Structure 1
Amino acid sequence: MKKWLVSTAVLASIFAAAAPASAAPSGPPITVDGPATFTSCGFPVTGEVTGKAKNITTPSGDIISTSPGLKITLTGPDGKTASYVITGVLFFSFPSENVVEVKATGNNLLQLPSPDGLFLTRGNVNFSVDSKGNELRRFSGSGTATNICSLLAPDS
């Protein structure tokens, strides 16, 4: 499986403006500043991201994604907004050719492929996706996951 799948299977907001994980720069974090579009709510959600991001590839091929000082403001189709500090760390491992295991610590914005797939996670959560971006296992662990789609959904 190609490491670029990380950016399509799981979107921490840093991937909205960063290069694919396998092409991530070494050295200091990169500045992330600009728009992001999220499509997994069944309606458009736009975001404005500011901060820094860095992907680190370990000798084993795992990827650690950090986001010091990263902030995002999300806007739903009828103007509802939500702002978050998302300075968590994501750990991506690849136990087989077709599986991505993800451990998220701290505060992270994650986009999963399900129709209600935009979540703010806090604490320690784990999940898994396949090489096509399909969920194999939704969140487990001691952390929490808040569905952002329901918070920004248009009023009926």
Structure 2
Amino acid sequence: MKRWLVPTAVLASIFAAAAPAAAAPSGPPISLEGVEITRQCGVQGSGGFLVTGVLSGSFKDITLPSGTILSPSPALKVTLTAENGNTVSYVITGVTRVTTFTDRTEVVATGRNLISRPNIGGLYITSGNVSFTNNPDGSEQIPFSGPGRVIDVCDVLS
């Protein structure tokens, strides 16, 4: 469930531990140079369309002892192209925090991030501080909230 967030530089939530703890060793950043992603805009079979993205840069997953995954992505960029040929490019240098519980996955995105919401058929650019919560099956439990801004990339590309 949480791995769909990583390739698109997305998403998270901090789980406060009872005592401070250091982050687990996570190794060097992972290059995403030239990596292609494909995401669905809209619900398949009801007028939706595919978007292909090409990433440039790197990210790093840092797993905290609480299980929260931090994914910073300094200098990461993406170029997205819709089936109709429309193209947009974004710098997505934010940090996402993903915390998974038995009944939900909480995501907090800070900075600028590309968020894929496959079970609701969306692709979004967020800036500032934005959060949302998914059910274990990936469906939306709590929609985007917070003082940040959300841009529907599917609307931009349509």
Q: Please report the TM-score for the alignment, with normalisation by the length of structure 1.
A: 0.82
Partner of 1:32: 32
Partner of 2:8: 13
Work out the CA distance in 2 between the residues paired with 1:136 and 1:109.
19
Aligned CA RMSD, in angstroms, stands at: 1.6
Q: Choose which of 100, 108, 131 in structure 2 pairs with 1:126.
A: 131
Partner of 2:22: none
Q: Secondary structure in 2 aligned to 1:150? A: helix
Structure 1 runs not aligned, ≥5 long:
16-24
Aligned residues: 137
Partner of 1:104: 109
1:1-156 matched pairs, under 5 angstroms: 5-8=1-4, 10=5, 13-14=8-9, 26-33=26-33, 34-41=35-42, 42-94=48-100, 96-112=101-117, 113-115=119-121, 117-153=122-158
**CA apart distance, 1:13:** 1.1
Which 4+ residue blocks in structure 1 deviate beyond 6 angstroms? Answer: none
**CA apart distance, 1:109:** 0.4
Structure 2 runs not aligned, ≥5 long:
11-24, 43-47
Deviations 1:65-115 (A, max 9, x none): 111111000001111100000010001112x31210000000000011213
Identity of aligned residues (%): 43
User: 2:63 is matched by which residue type in structure 1?
Assistant: T
Q: Please report the TM-score for the alignment, with normalisation by the length of structure 2.
A: 0.81
Work out the CA distance in 2 between the residues paired with 1:12 and 1:89.
13
Structure with the greater alpha carbon radius of gyration: 2
